[in-house]
């Protein structure tokens, strides 16, 4: 799991429609600004969140995003947990390959999102769902 | 669902995206633009993304698709106003905006379209000259 102490209460956004993906972006943006992430880091985190929220909707059949401000003593960061009870990912290596997709997209969502954040943790089980935790730290 | 307005200025269609688009809004814009290109006969499309604070893979793909559709409909697309942080993120995400021409702002985008149209006219002139000399 990601290191760091929670600061404040996590905010949760359900993901069950297109508009919810927009709401996740806005929630992450607001939290990232409050945590004093640089503009580039805000942009990277919001972009990663957009990719992962869309995955939760399209591949996971909907779920939720939980956004929390965290601290590890030296720096602040924003942690987001995307969770769904969908079909899970049978082959993670494949799913992390640039250009691989089962959904007709560009196949950059998962691999691209991992490049844009500092910490990336994934749990998935076929038939049970997927849970992805990402963190971006201030520099 | 929100809809992105399309403005016609002379021979150019200008789209200034001012909202955080849902995926559906982005797809709608693609269709609206194709229809407007055919209805107006415009030869240039400028998409202003100054107000967009992120471009993810979905929006990136939409921009590429719009560029391809307009090319088939004899119009050129220029994307203008990308923020520096957005450009940095796009590259790290691994998105190459295939077939998309970019300019720093709307004015330069218009110049780019005007210049490439002028080039096409010049080439057409040369072809005609060649024909007339070949058949006296």
ipTM for the complex shown: 0.87
Using the predicted structure, report yes or no on whether residue B133 has a pLDDT greater than 60.
Answer: no
Using the predicted structure, report yes or no on whether residue B130 has a pLDDT greater than 60.
Answer: no
Asked whether residue B78 is domain-assigned, the answer is: yes
Q: Which residues of A touch B61 (CB under 8 A)?
A: 105-106
The reported pLDDT for the residue numbered B129 is 58
Q: Which residues of B touch A40 (CB under 8 A)?
A: 84-85, 88-89
Domain boundaries, chain A: 5-137
Listed range (A4-13, A32-41, A60-69, A73-82) with the worst mean pLDDT:
A4-13
Asked whether residue B1 is domain-assigned, the answer is: no
Using the predicted structure, report yes or no on whether residue A132 has a pLDDT greater than 80.
Answer: yes
Pick A44's closest partner by Cβ from B61, B89, B95: B89
Better pLDDT: B2 or B112: B112
Question: B98 is in which domain, residue-wise?
Answer: 6-134
Provide the CB-side half-sphere exposure for B22 (13 A, CA): 16
The reported pLDDT for the residue numbered A1 is 47
Using the predicted structure, report yes or no on whether residue A39 has a pLDDT greater than 70.
Answer: yes
User: Per CB distance under 8 Å, which residues of B are interface residues toward A?
Assistant: 20-24, 53-58, 60-61, 83-86, 88-89, 92-95
Query: b/e map of A31-40 (b: 16 or more CB within 10 Å)?
Result: bbeebebeeb
Asked whether residue B21 is domain-assigned, the answer is: yes
User: Tens digits of per-residue pLDDT, B25-61?
Assistant: 999 999 999 999 999 999 999 999 999 999 999 999 9
Cβ contact (<8 Å) for B57 and A112? yes
Asked whether residue B75 is domain-assigned, the answer is: yes
Cβ contact (<8 Å) for A39 and B85? yes
Asked whether residue B116 is domain-assigned, the answer is: yes
Neighbours of A50 (CB within 10 A): 25
The reported pLDDT for the residue numbered B123 is 74
Provide the CB-side half-sphere exposure for A55 (13 A, CA): 31
d(CA B43, CA B8): 11
List all residues of chain A from 84 to 113 with a beta carbon under 8 Å from chain B. 98, 105-106, 108-109, 111-113
Confidence label for B128 from pLDDT (cuts 50, 70 and 90):
low
Contact B94, A98 (CB under 8 A): yes
The reported pLDDT for the residue numbered B127 is 60
**Chain A interface, mutation test: which of B1, B25, B28, B57, most A Cβ atoms within 10 Å?**
B57
By the 10 Å C-beta count (0-12 exposed, 13-18 middle, 19+ buried), A87 is classed as: middle
Using the predicted structure, report yes or no on whether residue B84 has a pLDDT greater than 70.
Answer: yes
Dihedrals phi, psi of A22, to nearest 5 degrees: -65, -40
User: Tens digits of per-residue pLDDT, A49-93?
Assistant: 999 999 999 999 999 999 999 998 889 999 999 999 999 998 888
Asked whether residue B56 is domain-assigned, the answer is: yes
- The pair of structure tokens assigned to B31 is 């269709």
**Candidate CATH numbers 3.20.20.70, 1.10.357.10, 3.30.565.10, 3.40.50.720; the one for domain A5-137:** 3.30.565.10
Q: For chain B, first and last CA: distance in Å?
A: 61
% chain A with pLDDT above 70: 95
- The pair of structure tokens assigned to A11 is 């905010």
Neighbours of A103 (CB within 10 A): 11
d(CA A23, CA A67): 12
Using the predicted structure, report yes or no on whether residue A126 has a pLDDT greater than 80.
Answer: yes
Asked whether residue B125 is domain-assigned, the answer is: yes
- The pair of structure tokens assigned to B7 is 């403005």
Give me the CATH number covering residue B23: 3.30.750.24
By the 10 Å C-beta count (0-12 exposed, 13-18 middle, 19+ buried), B67 is classed as: buried
The reported pLDDT for the residue numbered B136 is 46
Secondary structure class of B76 (helix, strand, coil) = strand
Using the predicted structure, report yes or no on whether residue B3 has a pLDDT greater than 70.
Answer: yes
- The pair of structure tokens assigned to B103 is 């300019």
CA distance B95 to chain A (A): 8
Domain count, chain B: 1
Beta-strand pair A5-15/A63-71: antiparallel
The reported pLDDT for the residue numbered B132 is 52
Confidence label for A109 from pLDDT (cuts 50, 70 and 90):
confident
């Amino acid at each position: 799991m990601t290191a760091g102490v929670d600061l404040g209460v996590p905010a949760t956004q359900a993901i069950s429609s297109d508009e919810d993906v927009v709401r996740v972006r806005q929630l992450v943006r607001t939290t990232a600004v409050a945590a004093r992430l640089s503009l580039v880091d805000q942009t990277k985190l919001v972009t990663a969140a957009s990719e992962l929220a869309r995955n939760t909707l399209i591949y996971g059949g909907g779920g939720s995003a939980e956004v929390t401000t965290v601290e590890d003593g030296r720096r602040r960061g924003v942690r987001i947990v995307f969770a769904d009870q969908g079909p899970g990912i049978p082959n993670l290596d494949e799913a992390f390959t640039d250009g691989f997709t089962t959904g007709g997209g560009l196949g950059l969502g998962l691999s691209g999102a991992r490049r844009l954040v500092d910490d990336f943790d994934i749990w998935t089980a076929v038939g049970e769902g997927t849970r992805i935790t990402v963190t971006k730290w201030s520099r | 669902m929100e809809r992105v307005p399309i403005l016609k200025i002379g021979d150019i269609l200008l789209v200034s995206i001012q909202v955080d688009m849902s995926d559906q809004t982005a797809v709608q814009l693609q269709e609206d633009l194709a229809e407007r290109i055919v209805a107006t006969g415009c030869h240039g499309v400028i998409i202003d993304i100054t107000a967009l604070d992120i471009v993810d893979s979905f929006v990136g793909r939409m921009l590429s698709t719009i560029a391809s559709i307009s090319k088939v409909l004899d119009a050129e697309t220029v994307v203008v106003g990308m923020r520096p942080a957005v450009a940095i993120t796009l590259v790290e995400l691994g998105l190459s905006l295939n077939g998309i021409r970019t300019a720093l702002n709307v004015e330069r985008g218009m110049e780019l379209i005007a210049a490439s149209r002028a080039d096409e006219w010049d080439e057409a002139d040369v072809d005609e000259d060649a024909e007339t000399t070949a058949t006296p």
